[in-house]
Amino acid sequence: MTGNPEAFVYLILSKDICPGHGETLNVFIQAVPELINFTNKVNDLLSFYKESVISSERNGYVYHRAQASQVTIPDCLNGLVDEIHENIRRVEDIVADNPKLREVVHSYMRGYIGFHIIASI
């Protein structure tokens, strides 16, 4: 659906949150890789429903990953959920001491999931 998680992640920044260069920007930059992974994995997880439950596509990420890992589709999905939880935990650890950035990042994660669900309807 997105194909460009970096754009979504970098659009989190605004002058209100990160005026100029400073500690907030430094903290945000540390969280970027985890936020990109979160975005990709949530996209893969939620796209699975649209592609494989509503439709009959079998050429998506989850099917390829399950086949490459030699696991069942449910095990692959469970692993993906575990990885998303781990991404969230790492992001929370990174932004823990910056309340403003923490709230913005949490809002992004909630909003991205909501956006994906609404855009898939």
Q: Does residue 48 form part of some domain?
A: yes
Q: Is the model's pLDDT at 19 over the cut of 80?
A: no
Asked if 94 contacts 24 with a C-beta cutoff of 8 angstroms, the reply is no
Question: For 20-74, how does the pLDDT look when each residue is reduced to its tens digit (9 = 90+)?
Answer: 668 888 999 999 999 999 999 999 999 898 888 777 778 889 999 999 999 999 9
User: CB pairs under 8 A, 24+ apart, for 11-15?
Assistant: 12/104, 12/105, 12/108
The answer to whether residue 13 is domain-embedded is no
Assess if residue 63 is contained within a domain.
yes
Domain-embedded: residue 64: yes
Query: pTM to 2 decimals?
Result: 0.87
37 assigned to some structural domain: yes
Task: Specify if 89 maps to a domain.
Answer: yes
- pLDDT score, position 49: 82
pLDDT for the residue numbered 113: 92
Q: What is the pLDDT of residue 121?
A: 63
Q: Is the pLDDT of residue 13 over 90?
A: no
Mean pLDDT of the chain: 89
The total number of structural domains in the chain stands at: 1
pLDDT at 1 over 70: no
Report yes or no: 46 and 116 within 8 Å, Cβ to Cβ: yes
Query: How high is the pLDDT of residue 20?
Result: 63
- Domain span at residue 95? 21-119
Number of helical (H) and strand (E) elements in the chain, helices listed first:
5, 0
Would you say residue 10 lies in a domain? no
Please write the tens of the pLDDT for every residue from 105-118.
Answer: 999 999 999 988 88
Q: What is the dihedral of CA 24, 26, 28, 29, to 10 degrees?
A: 160
Is 76 exposed, middle or buried, given 0-12, 13-18 or 19+ CB atoms closer than 10 A?
buried
